[in-house]
Structure 1
């Protein structure tokens, strides 16, 4: 470590690893929320490398510590995996990866798992320059970053373009719509534009510089073309991720823009993610498409559903208050369906019956009354309701017995109730009816895995349309 890096390093075998402490680096008790709010932001800088080690890493660590201190932050530096475990990570708001590449060769599985768990609890990660280099063996980080490394340029001046939707982001505010900047620009394996949870902040215009330096030209390195993001944010897996191509060396960040960009990025990452909350209510059909909706909305919304089968409107009316309070409640959107259990025949014991002469679980008047109660509860909660029509009953001896015509009658009543309250309808019945042979199991109300995914796509689209639009 060069002498100019003015930090005190603890010996790994004596404590938790190579921990650089500046301005009182010991852990703080976060039990008092009022005191925590007054404490400075705490950032753990990790600069261990499993691939090429940038010679400027020590100087960048020094710059981060000194500039961070000037900005009122506590910056600690480490290169030991023992510092990436729960009891240490819990002292920090943000983990900053300073050119920390090839981390699967640096961090054992337990350290990577600890980082993932810590991040999922609402913390933030910031990646500088080579933080997205050779991370293929850590799928979680590769997914979080959205891409890996292909090649890079030399240190050059280039035109930087601020994404119009990011002009108010604190890391870019005051710059744009375009400006010139000098840095070493990386080419990634793909553009992150449009990936779930990703918001591009900056792009670089490749026509204004040579994007692939000679070394990588000989290795087949490729430029990215017209869509070359160089800074972006990701909100998924429970936390916030901020990445910038700046940080190959100190000169790329030690400017007015560089300081704002990096440290406002840190502050942004330190804030708990604020994502819309979605509640899914329904029977086993809903349970079938639930995972598809969760995956599709990862990074866009928190999707919750009861672990139990919500069954019919009788159970729904009794349990709706409990479900609306799940995991803190306060849902932005509730996507719900009741009907398939209501129309099934039940015996004297209340269990499903194959006898078409037995009564339905809920007659149409009872269904109407109970569905209105459910709707009133959802509306009173402040959430935006979306009703999904009940999917069809196929031909044949479906067990327990259900009549296809009953589904149509119950859906008609549901449509009337939703129209009275101007509630959006996701017509899964109309969507699936023409293609039941391809989507539904034979002589069964349940859907194939492919059918559940198809329903999940429709549900995802309906929820997306209803989600509140986020501010920068």
Structure 2
């Protein structure tokens, strides 16, 4: 059919821990991206619908600010088969603070959340401008967010897209009970993508504040990841002059 949408995305926002104030703005932003870029999106928080039969209709699963352990063993197995069939995953913000006792998911997401300081402005830099969705950002730009520190890579060969300069903000975190942090050092990644277990995974740590989802630059950053995860298509090499 000529009016068929180019792909279908499952937007999943279930939380078993912190519930972000920005979730509804995030859902609205993804729905607006679906209208703008002619793809279909279905939003829910029902883990029972993470099953083989239901997932067959989608090309990409988006975990938007999910937290905690939200899937049982059967649902996890269905999601693994989904990725192994050549489909895609997108994790936004606290998707990295999700499913800590599921080793496969840790590898899918690439790095796990560790701790963060207070929300503040900092200088972000683009590492790879060739990836879709970064066209509206300057090479370096000021952004306000919750700057996650991450655990080491769970898999090799992550393709990094954004970093934050720790000289531009206060990296100190103290959550009590010996839970402290002080940044990640000279290289502090914020967004990346990689091929994994037959499929694709994209992650961005940005998106804590509701206002982020009103920013056209951030919206296109999200769509770049969604489009790649759903289709596997990457920017074409420039034509020879």
Normalized against structure 1, the TM-score is what?
0.47
- The answer to whether 1:188 aligns with 2:150 is yes
- The answer to whether 1:129 aligns with 2:114 is no
Corresponding residue of 1:40: 6
Change (3 A) 1:191 1:204: farther
- Which consecutive aligned stretches of 4+ in structure 1 deviate over 6 angstroms post-superposition? none
List gaps (5 residues or longer) in structure 2.
Answer: none
Larger relative CO (CA 8 A, sep 6+): 1 or 2?
Answer: 2
* Structure-to-structure mapping, 1:191-270, within 5 angstroms: 195-213=155-173, 215=175, 219-270=179-230
Assess if the C-alpha contact under 8 Å between 1:151 and 1:222 holds in 2. no
- The answer to whether 1:179 aligns with 2:179 is no
| 2:224 aligned counterpart, secondary structure | helix
Structure (1 or 2) with the larger CA radius of gyration? 1
* Distance across 1 between alignment mates of 2:20 and 2:39: 25
Assess if the C-alpha contact under 8 Å between 2:13 and 2:45 holds in 1. yes
- What's the offset of the Cα at 1:70? 3.3
The CA deviation string for residues 148-202 of structure 1, in whole angstroms up to 9 with x for no partner, is 1111133322111111xx211112235343222222221111257xx42410011
| 1:154 aligned counterpart, secondary structure | coil
* Structure-to-structure mapping, 1:72-87, within 5 angstroms: 72-87=38-53
List gaps (5 residues or longer) in structure 1.
Answer: 1-34, 275-469
Change (3 A) 1:174 1:252: closer
* Distance across 2 between alignment mates of 1:255 and 1:216: 34
* Distance across 2 between alignment mates of 1:114 and 1:134: 17
Corresponding residue of 2:122: 158
Normalized against structure 2, the TM-score is what?
0.87
What is the total number of aligned residue pairs between the two structures? 237
* Distance across 1 between alignment mates of 2:15 and 2:74: 17
Assess if the C-alpha contact under 8 Å between 2:122 and 2:165 holds in 1. yes
- The answer to whether 1:69 aligns with 2:29 is no
Greater fraction of residues in helix: 1
- What's the offset of the Cα at 1:217? 10
* Distance across 1 between alignment mates of 2:79 and 2:118: 32
- What's the offset of the Cα at 1:273? 7.4
Assess if the C-alpha contact under 8 Å between 1:127 and 1:244 holds in 2. yes
